Amino acid sequence: MSELLFEIGTEEMPASYIEPALEQLAGAVEALLAENRLAAESVRATGTPRRLTVAAEGVPPSQPPITNEIVGPPAEVAFNEDGSAGKAALGFARAQGVPVESLRVKETEKGPYVVAEVEQEGAPALAILPGVLRKATLSISFPKSMRWPAGAGEPVGGDTDEGRQVRFARPIRWLVALLDSEVIPVEMAGLRAGRTTRGHPFLAPKAIELRDASFDAYREALREHCVIVEMDERRQMVRAQIDKMLEPEGLHTAWVDPLWEVVNLLEHPHAVEGGFDEKFLDVPESVLCAAMIEHQRYFPVWDGRGNLLNRFITVADRAAEQEDTVREGNERVLRARLEDARFFWNQDCKRPLADRVPQLGEVVYLGGLGNNLQRTERLEMLGSRIARLMDLGEEQVRHTGRAARLCKADLLTGLVGEFPSLQGLVGRELALREGEPVAVADAIAEHYLPAGAHDEPPTSAEGAALALADKLDVIVGCFALALLPSGSQDPYALRRNALGILLILEARKLDLKLTDLVEAAKDVLEGQGAQLSERPLDVPVEQVLEFFRDRLYHAAVERRFAHDLVRATLSVGFDHPTPKQALNCNVRRFWSRLEELAGCAGREWWPALVELVDRTYRIQRDAQGLSPVENDLLQQNEERELARLLSEHREPLARMFEQELYGEAAERYCSLFARPVHEFFEEVFVNVEDEAVRRNRKSLCAEVYHLFADRFADLYLIEAAEGDKSS
């Protein structure tokens, strides 16, 4: 088995492009190797801003031979009447290079035909790999790509137009492609691959000749030339250097925001500490951190009591000897940023948030949905309504309404114009400065949360109510205008907003029905409809709920729940809701039921439970308008016993499900009904000619089925995922 090393050397790529590109490159190489019968034992990828590298171990030196079955002439033509080979068989065998005795007859759709088994030798890996590596490289997609003239390096056949036909994040400047010690003849972007890579552009710009495809040797050769090629190692270096600076003084920084991007901005990290004038500490901390983290990718510094200090740490792609120059340059740049932030803050403080609200009428929100003042009015009504659905007190309802009134006003501030990520946070700081209640200020800041799948939801009840209102207004408005997501396109972030709603409902354990929330948003939007559009706005509630159902499904699958368990759990509340049980589209209960169902799937009685629900479903699935079971129509002991058990245990089991004792109720249901239902199907013929008896028996099965499937999960869908249920 052989080792493969492939490096794409480029001009500096944006930090956000690197990890997705490496994931795509590794996946494509692994898939294409397998597709070409050169499957590797392992494939890994790593990189820096100037190189994307994939390495594979256990690559076969050549493709294994394969046997192809080639169909020849019809058997009646190929062989003589006495069974000997005729001219057609002899000619076919000769053409395929096989003995005529090895031919055999195979029955096909057109009748019996002669076939030959021909062994095809595999091609050497060096002949296959150029196409594999080129195709894998060109399969990488970037948010934005470039075309360029043929770059530096050895041009391919003098063809200067070839580079213009390649699209990549940044111009490709060199290629390394090795299989063990052999160069793989990859030609791409006006370049021919070789064994020469490059070190750090400033600290060690010399060319590096690689002897073979050993990844360890490659990594060490780059390290000697000031390039740390593995991202995890660069990340560890950054953390270790910063910890060494801060820990002796009991200081700390925030790791999450800048670290991942800093790691992909450089090849040889060196941390440098800097400072800024204490006068800037008068500006709110969130503003200072935004200037440092988002604009400059610096690490802010806090003391042990959580106070922000006038210090920062930057990570440079330079040597320690240049530390003073790096510090002075970064302090100068940050000083200008903080001067701007301080100016905008002082200007914004001169005008109260409430005075800015009328000006929102001059800012269009979305065509057909009015301006931001009209949206603010919707949020006031909807936020207060949701707060009442959450059973909040009257003071909390008032705070929610006040926060809704002010929450969009900071969009008109200079600070948000300079730092768009601070929307909501600037509103909170200004609200606190103007004497608004803390609950109002916090709700203003939290109403955008969560902004993504990994963000924290609002911590305050008022913030949760307003965040739900903000996201629901976007969703129902876009559905009313038919501005729906399509494929990977979601310009109004409806999927993200729906996920945010689901996360809030789950995190705060809110017993709110999605139907009630959507209906509330629909009422508010349609009530304002005459001001927004000449044509009445109509929100398709069922379509919106199906959209939420789809988001819940994807969220559950991403958490590694089995597809069929998720489908079975979603059947309650979405597919056939039961309003009397307060389960209708209840997100908190969905997660509770799904977790319990996953636990049940590992129990010894699980197969019997699935069979019980499945059989009672199938026997009555086509029946329409079934009536309650009539005891007078029960004829056999088995059906009478089943009806007795159902009558005796229906209410106790229903209470257990209502109390969310799902696992316990499922086990109890199975122990009560599995054997009686089995005996019923063994001894009782359901589809008798007497229509009344037939329908009564189906009603009995339907009631046993719905007792479980309408309250916990529809286990018919478990078996539907495993096999054909058409019978």
Burial of 344 per CB tally in 10 Å (0-12, 13-18, 19+): buried
Pairing, β 196-198 against β 207-209: antiparallel
Q: Please state whether the peptide bond connecting residue 450 to the residue before it is cis, i.e. omega within 30 degrees of 0.
A: yes
Tokens representing 253 are 């920084």
Taking the C-alpha atoms of residue 99 and residue 492, their distance in angstroms, rounded to an integer, is: 67
pLDDT per residue over 62-109, tens digit each?
Answer: 888 877 888 888 888 888 877 788 888 888 888 888 888 888 888 887
At residue 293, the pLDDT reads 87
The sign of the torsion formed by the CA atoms of 17, 19, 20, 23 equals positive
Distance CA 603, CA 316 (A): 56
In sign, the C-alpha dihedral spanning 158, 159, 161, 162 is: negative
Give the residue among 54, 56, 37, 45 at the shortest CA–CA distance from 125.
37
Distance, in Å, from the CA atom of 579 to the CA atom of 577, rounded to the nearest integer, reads 6
Side-chain half-sphere exposure of 217, counting CA atoms within 13 A: 15
Report d(CA 333, CA 312) in Å as an integer.
13
In a 3-state reduction of DSSP, which class is residue 566?
helix
Alpha-carbon distance 303 to 286, whole Å?
16
| φ/ψ of residue 410, rounded to 5 | -70, -5
d(CA 114, CA 119): 17
How many other C-beta atoms are found inside a 10 Å radius of the C-beta of residue 175? Answer: 26
d(CA 169, CA 176): 18
Angle between helices 691-709 and 662-683 (to 10 degrees): 160
Look at residue 722 in the predicted model and tell me its pLDDT.
Answer: 42
Q: What is the pLDDT of residue 257?
A: 59
Token readout for 394 is 């009257």
Tell me how long the chain is: 727
Widest CA span in the chain: 108
Q: Return left, alpha or beta for 221; rule: phi > 0 is left, psi -120 to 50 is alpha, else beta.
A: alpha
Provide the angle, in degrees to the nearest 10, between the axes of the packed helices 587-600 and 563-570.
130
- What predicted TM-score, i.e. pTM, was given to this entire model? 0.77
Rounded Cα distance between 712 and 704, Å, is: 13
What's the confidence (pLDDT) of residue 161? 44
Low pLDDT (below 50) residues in the chain: 151-164, 576-583, 720-727
> In terms of C-beta distances under 8 Å and separation of at least 24 residues, what long-range contacts does 327-331 make, across chains too?
327/272, 327/273, 327/274, 330/272, 330/274, 330/296, 330/298, 331/274, 331/275, 331/276
Encoding tokens for residue 64? 């294994």
Number of Cβ within 10 Å of residue 627's Cβ equals 9
481 CB-contact burial (10 Å; exposed 0-12 / middle 13-18 / buried 19+): middle
Q: Quick one: which of 26, 213, 61, 55 has its CA closest to 137? A: 26
Secondary structure class of 314 (helix, strand, coil)? strand
As beta bridge partners, residue 557 has none
Q: Supply the pLDDT for residue 581.
A: 39
| Domains and their CATH numbers in the chain | 2-62+124-224 (no CATH), 66-120 (no CATH), 231-348 (no CATH), 354-558 (1.10.3210), 564-720 (1.10.730.10)
Q: What is the 3-state secondary structure (H, E, C) of 476-520?
A: HHHHHCCCCCECCECCCCHHHHHHHHHHHHHHCCCCCEHHHHHHH
CA distance 266 to 317: 5
3-state secondary structure of 160: coil
CA-CA distance, 202 to 206, in Å (whole number)?
A: 10
Sequence-distant (≥ 6) Cβ neighbours of residue 13 within 8 angstroms: 21, 49, 50, 169, 170
Q: CA gyration radius for the chain? A: 34
H or E segment at 317?
none
